């Protein structure tokens, strides 16, 4: 007898019923775009996180940056960036993330940072480059704050780029071609100072628009997230 598997929408509805009214419940109850929605009508949120490492269970979330993408446009008025108050000492990594210990100590509480992200992402598809990092850290942060780890609807620009580079070919992409800045180079997009969550979110949003153009036509959410 096959196992019953809930859809993502059913899972989100079930999680919402366990919560009282609030930011997380409204996030879970908001309808998401149908997989047949074309890119020209998709509401997305390009997201980047800065962390002390790559393991959500062991490392700390330092900041979250986001930029909306609406109908293949980037309305910068909806951009946001929040530094997370943390007892983690970034030390030498401040030269990488440009976040000092003083900034961390004066940052937002985790619940405030998570809720600001959830409000921005409500009803939107999460867009990220190598999205497993964002979904891992943000999912755990949601669980720590609200007791729920949501399933995000996701488009990963790294996966889109991989499909574009390998379509019809057996060879793997060249070294570095799938990294955010290597992928942007292929479309002639400018280089920004890396390792700032807001700047990297904008860089991801711009890369997404270039990828959609390279795919041709008006790809659907299902095609983009395949």
Structure tokens at 210: 């270039």
Q: How many CB atoms lie within 10 A of CB 16?
A: 18
Cα–Cα distance measured from residue 95 to residue 93, given in angstroms and rounded to the nearest whole number = 5
- Cα–Cα distance for residue pair 132/225, rounded to 1 Å: 13
Cα diameter, the chain: 57
CA distance 183 to 176: 8
- In what side-by-side order are the strands of the sheet with 125-128? 80-83, 61-70, 43-51, 125-128, 154-156
DSSP H or E stretch at residue 70: strand 61-70
The DSSP code for 21 is: S
β-pairing verdict for 61-70 and 43-51? antiparallel
Q: At residue 95, does pLDDT exceed 50?
A: no
> Does position 110 have pLDDT exceeding 90, yes or no?
yes
Q: What percent of the chain has pLDDT over 70?
A: 88
Distance from C-alpha of 50 to C-alpha of 210, rounded to nearest angstrom = 24
217 Cβ contact partners less than 8 Å away, ≥ 6 residues apart: none
Instruction: Please indicate whether residue 185 or residue 14 has the higher confidence score (pLDDT).
Output: 185
d(Cα 164, Cα 197) in Å, to the nearest integer? 25
Which pLDDT tens digit goes with each residue over 134-176?
999 999 999 999 999 999 999 999 999 999 999 877 788 999 9
| 137 vs 85, higher pLDDT | 137
Q: What average pLDDT score do residues 89-113 get? A: 62
| The predicted structure's pLDDT at residue 102 | 54
- Token digits of residue 8: 């993502």
């Amino acid at each position: 007898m096959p196992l019953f598997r809930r859809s993502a929408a059913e899972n989100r509805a079930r999680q919402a019923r366990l919560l009282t009214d609030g930011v997380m419940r409204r996030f879970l109850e908001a309808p998401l775009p149908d997989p047949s929605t074309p890119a020209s009508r998709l509401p997305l949120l390009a997201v980047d996180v800065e962390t002390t490492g790559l393991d959500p269970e062991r490392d700390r979330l330092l900041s979250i940056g986001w930029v909306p993408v609406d109908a293949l446009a980037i309305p910068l008025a909806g951009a946001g960036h929040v530094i997370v108050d943390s007892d983690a000492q970034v030390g030498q990594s401040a030269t990488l993330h440009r976040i000092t210990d003083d900034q961390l100590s004066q940052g937002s509480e985790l619940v405030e940072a998570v809720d600001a992200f959830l409000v921005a992402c409500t009803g939107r598809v999460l867009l990220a480059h190598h999205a497993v990092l964002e979904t891992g850290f943000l999912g755990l942060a949601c669980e720590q704050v609200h007791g729920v780890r949501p399933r995000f609807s996701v488009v990963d620009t790294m996966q889109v780029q991989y499909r574009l580079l390998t379509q019809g070919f057996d060879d793997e992409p060249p070294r570095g071609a799938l990294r955010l800045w290597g992928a942007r180079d292929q479309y002639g997009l400018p280089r920004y100072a890396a390792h700032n969550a807001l700047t990297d979110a904008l860089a991801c949003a711009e890369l997404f628009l270039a990828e959609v153009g390279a795919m041709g036509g008006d790809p659907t959410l299902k095609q983009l997230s395949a």
